[in-house]
Amino acid sequence: MGHDLATKAELVKLARALGTTAEEIAFAAELPHSAIRRLRENAVATLYDEHKAAFQRVAMITRVLPTAVNVRITLRAFTPLLAARVAGELPPDRAAELANRMPVEFLAEACVHLDPRRAGALVHRVRPDRVVAVVVELVERGDFITLGRLLDTATEQIVRDVTATVATEALLQIGFYAESDEQLTRAVALLPPERLHATVRDALTGPPELRSAGLALVGRVNDEALRGRLAEYAAEEDDETLTKLLHTAIDDGALEELLLAVSVMSEQAQRRVLTLPALTEPHILGHLVRAVEKHDLFSRLAPVVALMDPDLRRRVAVAAERGPNLR
Amino acid sequence: MRGDVREVLTHWLGADVRVVEGLSDEALEELRDVLVAARERQATAIRAASAEALRQMPPVLRGTVSKILGR
């Protein structure tokens, strides 16, 4: 059986944090995604604290040297890994002063190794144009895991600049690995309407991983009005596209996300999705009914049921009678 | 959870060791092994990066910097 999208994202992040493969940490899939996250956060903290004393000593030396000399030494002698670890032990102002003089490629590589507990204070002090340049570099490298982590540190202006610069596909991938639902919601809310619309369209018409990222996004956004806008844009797509989305949701164990989206659509959009030919298939209805039961979505979806024509309502009832533990 | 596994996992996870208690004994041993391997990988990477940093330093500074890095 597949894992839900949050668990998938957490497993990828855990493997990255431990420098290993998804296969090596497959055993963790038995845990809830919140537990995998706690495991990762603790493991990362232990790893970063392990060599802290040595990096603190290096940081002490760099404090007494002029910035230009530090930059020269860093670029000549330090790998991005060492530079990031020392930066984590410097006062954020000092670390930002150095970062503002480093090449973007070096900073992008260093970001991968930056202590997540220290990243926010540092990133807030780096020049916004430099931060955006680093984000663009990380997008080009396809490092969406690091970008998802860094999203938490992004100011409103940086989010605006990045969303105006980066492709919608990349925004979806970054969102998939975002750490905080609140920050993800704030970032999505800052997208101009046409950009938000394009993001939804690209999620639905792109490859399966983008549909998965789109489903994860609509599930994680914690503002119902914003979720409603996303869902409304989705409902504009044709039958084929929406049917693919439905199948992806079933494959990904993401029917809760899909049904939440339907529950916040306008009545007109709900009527439109109820005309999907796929809803005549008993096994599809079975999946949907079981998801409603599992996630206790009866009251949220009651208005949608009221919009069903008698034939569809009868089919739903049959699917409910067939499934295990259905009311 | 076996005592030796709990000891290692408690070092890594502190009080949050309880979040992994739902795993089987076999999975807990796998977890211990990947954590220990991660630590070794990190130590190797830092050693290699430090060695490279020292190589780039003027010879007169190498001894002092080496002490600072605890090598």
Cβ atoms within 10 A of the Cβ of A134, count?
A: 25
A30 vs B27: CB contact, 8 Å cut-off? Answer: yes
Chain A CA closest to residue B39: A47
Distance from CA of B1 to the nearest CA of A (A): 15
B38 vs A81: CB contact, 8 Å cut-off? Answer: no
- Tell me which residue in B22, B42, B68 faces A61 most closely, judged by beta carbons: B68
Q: What is the mean pLDDT of residues A124-151?
A: 96
Q: Which of A1-10, A163-172, A212-221 has the lowest mean pLDDT?
A: A1-10
Kindly tell me the sign of the dihedral angle through the C-alpha atoms of A174, A180, A185, A187. Answer: negative
- Tell me which residue in B13, B52, B69 faces A54 most closely, judged by beta carbons: B69
At A322, list the tokens. 């067939």
- CB burial of A292-301 (b: ≥16 within 10 Å; e: otherwise) equals bbeeebeeeb
Most A-contacting residue of B19, B26, B33, B71 (CB-CB within 10 A), to test interface: B19
Q: What whole-number percentage of chain A has pLDDT above 70? A: 98
pLDDT above 60: residue A324 = no
pLDDT above 80: residue B15 = yes
Return the pLDDT at A323: 63
pLDDT digit string (tens) for A151-170? 999 999 999 999 999 999 99
- Tell me which residue in B22, B34, B68 faces A31 most closely, judged by beta carbons: B22
pLDDT above 50: residue A18 = yes
pLDDT digit string (tens) for A21-75? 999 999 999 999 999 999 999 999 999 999 898 888 888 888 778 888 889 888 9
pTM of the model: 0.90
B56 vs A53: CB contact, 8 Å cut-off? Answer: no
Q: Mean pLDDT of all residues in chain A?
A: 93
Residue A1: pLDDT band with limits 50, 70, 90: very low
Neighboring chain B residues of A58 at a CB cutoff of 8 Å: 68-69
Q: Which of A5-9, A200-204, A220-224, B5-9 has the lowest mean pLDDT?
A: B5-9
Residue A325: pLDDT band with limits 50, 70, 90: very low
Distance from CA of A74 to the nearest CA of B (A): 9
